Structure 1
Amino acid sequence: MGRRKKARPARSRGRQVKLDAIHWSEVGARLDSDGCAVVRGLLDGDACRAYASAYDAAARYRSRVVMERHGFGRGEYQYFAYPLPDRLAHLRRALYPSLAHIANRWHAAMGMEVRFPDDHAAFIARCHAAGQLRPTPLILQYREGDYNCLHQDLYGEHVFPLQVAVLLSRPGEDFNGGEFVLTEQRPRMQSRVEVVQLKQGDAVIFPVNLRPVSGARGVYRVSM
């Protein structure tokens, strides 16, 4: 995905954002209007480098996927194993309640019956009761010319409708190109494309599948 440059000694981009400083009303408004929302500096440079440098630590992961073998694109990714790294587990627990509030509001708007508990542990228990036992957080690795085909990450009966991705590398320094692209398929209209500009440590929140959109005749569903 893009052309990699020779790495230079990295510098920290400053402290990561405090989770209680995230303006969730703004995040929700962005998701409603644009279909995605960016949280700047969710991870600092040191945390990003720590995750990236541990990519070859096989004990951290439960499986590795080479995308070209499955027609997914070019590159690879690995699913984290339980127990998750402490920082990752904390982020997942801390982000979940506010995301669940948005998810429940969206499901109500779309007339979908499923609701999500306020507590992340309760949602995990629901998944485990349905036989969904494997952790789904993953880390991707791209080299020169690699790419990821457009796709949806849908796994199992219980699918949480929002997803968070964090850029670990430095655009313009570690790589060129490599844009994060979302497409929105609207009923009886042409698809809309959104290119999300991220810096190292920034997170993008986006739908896994469906989101509600308000139109002249009320709310309708679009697929991402």
Structure 2
Amino acid sequence: MTPTTLSAGRASERVASGDWQSLADELNEHGSALTPRILTAAECRSIAALYDDEERFRSTVDMARHRFGSGQYRYFANPLPDLVRELREAFYPHLLPIARDWAGKLGKPGPWPGTLEEWLAMCHEAGQSKSAQILLRYGPGDWNALHRDVFGDAVFPLQVVIGLDTPGTDYSGGEFLTVEQRPRAQSRGSSTTLPQGHGLIFTTRDRPVRSARGWSAGPVRHGVSTVRSGRRRTLGLVFHDAA
């Protein structure tokens, strides 16, 4: 069960106060995990309100035009808004042990250093210097096709989406979807209703899945179901920069 009350203090302190062992267990079992509430309603509104300030963003994507679904999202430009930067920096050290554990299980290198600053410097050296932080906006009839995120060769295996509106009040539908391709078996799907101010941690591309032969990489795609009514806005935190 995810509590809905907020602890006092900054958003970074709320992120740190989560039960990270339970969240790691949930990620290992299901490939996604819902955090406690980390943003107040006022903080959610402040982030959502940035959408109309075009100078905050480096590009806008119309999903229907690119056949990604329907709706729109914008990539933040650097420097990031303070709260977005704070959230990204707060999540990284808690996700890092999980990322390293997954890499070890899959027999892959775990190149991620101890701080986000060091990791982003490595991304930039690899030619990935554009912000990949996303503000997404959906209206009635909008949806996001199942996909895996590709921003370059330097990849962090986990990311976070934070709900900025209240399901059942501000909008209906719009569940967050994941579909996992299981080894030598049919795919498994799941859906999550994202409460306002909560974050959903999920895998960027794939995750380790135990099989009779040991660990194998299970590809996971994610998307959003059709929004039936209202407006659904979310913040996407990505822990590598884009090419």
Normalising by structure 2, report the TM-score.
0.84
Aligned equivalents of 2:99, 2:115: Cα separation in 1: 13
Work out the CA distance in 2 between the residues paired with 1:52 and 1:93.
20
| Bigger RCO of structures 1 and 2 (CA < 8 A, at least 6 apart) | 1
Distance between the aligned counterparts of 1:74 and 1:223, measured in 2?
24
- For residues 31 and 66 of structure 2, the distance between their equivalents in structure 1, rounded to whole angstroms, comes to 28
Q: Does 1:174 align with 2:170?
A: yes
Q: 1:34 aligns to what?
A: 30
- Tell me the residue number matched to 2:145: 149
Alpha-carbon distance in 2 for matches of 1:203, 1:20: 13
> Aligned equivalents of 2:46 and 2:123: distance in 1?
29
1:159 aligns with 2:155: yes
CA distance in 1, matches of 2:111, 2:190: 28
Kept in 2, the 8 Å contact 1:14–1:45? The answer is: no
Moved more, 123-132 or 208-217: 208-217
Alignment partners' CA distance in 2, 1:106 and 1:14 = 30
| Structure-1 separation of matches of 2:56 and 2:136 | 14
Task: Tell me, yes or no, if the aligned pair for 2:99 and 2:110 is still in contact at 8 Å.
Answer: no
SS in 1 for 2:124: helix
Residue 155 (structure 1) shift: 0.5
Provide the C-alpha distance between the structure 1 equivalents of 2:6 and 2:22, rounded to a whole number of angstroms. Answer: 23
Per the alignment, residue 44 of structure 2 pairs with 48
Query: 2:20 matched to 1:24?
Result: yes
Where in structure 2 are the equivalents of 1:1-224 lying within 5 Å? 18-224=14-220
Provide the C-alpha distance between the structure 1 equivalents of 2:142 and 2:97, rounded to a whole number of angstroms: 36
Structure 2 CA distance, aligned partners of 1:175 and 1:71? 23
Q: CA deviation at 1:210?
A: 1.3
RMSD of equivalent CA atoms = 1.5
Runs (4 or more) in structure 1 with deviation over 2 Å come to 13-17
What whole-Å deviation, never above 9, does each CA across 1:36-95 have from its counterpart, x for those lacking one? 111021211111111112210111111000011101000000000111010110111111
1:105 CA displacement: 0.7
Give how far 1:99 is off: 0.8
Q: In 2, Cα distance between the equivalents of 1:125 and 1:14?
A: 33
Structure 1 length-normalised TM: 0.91
Q: Amino acid of the residue matched to residue 57 of structure 2?
A: Y
Q: Considering fraction of residues, name the structure with more strand.
A: 2
